[in-house]
């Protein structure tokens, strides 16, 4: 009974908060839009019994999914979201790795304080932190005024309402999710391995590529997944910093639900987005299984 309870608890959590909502969304995606509350006409009703199930399969169609392929707004939004999420993950890794490495190499008594400095700003509201970047990146914002003051530029740079602002917002927002797993791996690394490599004639750069980077591989993969997966469906950052020119799929999904009130199409967008996100999740699980087998 104890073993059953231990196994059943996470499965119950996944069934209640993932599988059942997904089935409901998938059911809505196969429905027809309607001027009603809720704004769709279900094609499947359990109250009809077995006859309703037979009618449902006989009338089953995927016209909402076909509509996503015919309208370039949706597939272009998917591609834009994947591109922005990918490059944001790369930029976040470039920024996070030196920080994690520096914290891991810092004296032991300073590491908790340094980690607190990384985490402390994120105790503030997510919306407030993203909104504050408008004042920093605006044409008359802090960054442009500083660059004008020191003479680097002659006129304000157009940063707000661009993809650059979206990249900055995503990197800033998800930076701790990249730092923490990398730091956890680097902290466990035995520094004597670096010293042994250097004693055997290996340069510092060579020791980094042959020892430090492979040791941090698991943390890098985990951090990339923690950044890439939520960045694809990001809504707040492209809405506040990207403006109307940045059509990420999260913005399109919100517009279909709350502006167009087309729940079937919005549900189809959500199902396809989830299917896309399953690819990196499966790859990550396979990587973790290989790592566990090697250990």
Structural contact between residues 169 and 241, judged by C-beta atoms closer than 8 angstroms: yes
Q: Report the alpha-carbon distance of residue 132 to residue 235 in Å, rounded.
A: 16
The 10s digit of each residue's pLDDT in 69-107 is: 888 889 999 999 999 999 999 999 999 999 999 999 899
Share of the chain above pLDDT 90, in %: 35
Residue with tokens 């105790």: 123
- In total, the chain counts a number of residues equal to 295
Structural contact between residues 212 and 261, judged by C-beta atoms closer than 8 angstroms: no
Nearest CA among 164, 165, 136, 161 for reference residue 144? 136
Structural contact between residues 246 and 212, judged by C-beta atoms closer than 8 angstroms: no
What pLDDT band is residue 286 in, cutting at 50, 70 and 90?
Answer: confident
Q: Report the alpha-carbon distance of residue 19 to residue 11 in Å, rounded.
A: 10
Q: Which CATH architecture has domain 72-294?
A: Orthogonal Bundle (1.10)
Per-domain boundaries in the chain:
72-294
- Six-digit token pair at 87? 């490059």
What pLDDT band is residue 258 in, cutting at 50, 70 and 90?
Answer: confident
What pLDDT band is residue 295 in, cutting at 50, 70 and 90?
Answer: low
Q: Report the alpha-carbon distance of residue 165 to residue 162 in Å, rounded.
A: 5
Q: Report the alpha-carbon distance of residue 156 to residue 160 in Å, rounded.
A: 11
3-state SS, residue 33: strand
């Amino acid at each position: 009974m104890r073993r059953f309870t231990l196994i059943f608890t996470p499965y119950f959590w996944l069934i209640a908060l993932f599988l059942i909502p997904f089935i409901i969304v998938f059911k809505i995606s196969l429905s027809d839009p309607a001027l009603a509350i809720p704004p769709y006409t279900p094609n499947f009703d359990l109250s009809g019994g077995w006859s309703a199930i037979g009618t449902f399969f006989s009338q089953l169609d995927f016209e909402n999914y076909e509509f996503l392929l015919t309208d370039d707004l949706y597939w272009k939004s998917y591609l834009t979201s994947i591109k922005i999420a990918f490059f944001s993950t790369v930029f976040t890794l470039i920024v996070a790795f030196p920080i994690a490495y520096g914290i891991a190499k810092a004296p032991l008594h300073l590491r908790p304080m340094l980690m607190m400095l990384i985490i402390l700003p994120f105790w503030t509201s997510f919306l407030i932190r993203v909104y504050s970047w408008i004042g920093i990146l605006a044409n008359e914002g802090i960054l442009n005024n500083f660059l004008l003051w020191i003479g680097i530029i002659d006129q304000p740079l157009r940063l707000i309402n661009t993809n650059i602002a979206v990249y900055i917002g995503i990197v800033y927002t998800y930076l701790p999710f990249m730092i923490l797993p990398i730091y956890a791996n680097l902290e466990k690394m035995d520094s004597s391995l670096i010293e042994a490599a250097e004693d055997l004639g290996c340069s510092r750069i060579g020791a980094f590529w042959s020892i430090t980077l492979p040791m941090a591989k698991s943390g890098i993969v985990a951090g990339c997944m923690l950044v890439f997966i939520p960045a694809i469906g990001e809504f707040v950052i492209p809405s506040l910093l990207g403006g109307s020119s940045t059509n990420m799929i999260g913005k399109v999904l919100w517009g279909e639900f709350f502006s167009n009130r087309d729940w079937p199409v919005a549900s189809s967008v959500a199902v396809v987005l989830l299917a896309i996100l399953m690819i990196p999740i499966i790859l990550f699980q396979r990587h973790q299984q290989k790592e566990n087998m090697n250990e």
